[in-house]
A = this chain, B = another copy of it.
Amino acid sequence: MYQYDFPYRVRYADVDQMGYMYYGHYARLFEIGRVEALRNLGLRYRDFEENGIIMPVYENKSRYLSPAKYDELLTIRVKLEKLPSARIVFHYDIISENGDILNKGETTLVFVKMENNKLVPCPSNMIEALRPYFA
Q: Check if A67 sits within 8 Å of B56, measured CB to CB.
A: yes
A132 lies within 8 A of chain B by Cβ: no
A32 lies within 8 A of chain B by Cβ: yes
Q: Check if B19 sits within 8 Å of A23, measured CB to CB.
A: no
Question: A1-44 interface mask toward B, CB cutoff 8 Å, 1 = contact, 0 = none?
Answer: 00000000101110111111011111110011001000000001
| Secondary structure class of chain A's binding surface, majority of residues | mixed
A54 lies within 8 A of chain B by Cβ: yes
A100 lies within 8 A of chain B by Cβ: no
Query: Which residues of chain A have a CB within 8 Å of any CB of chain B?
Result: 9, 11-13, 15-20, 22-28, 31-32, 35, 44-46, 49, 54, 56-64, 67, 70-71
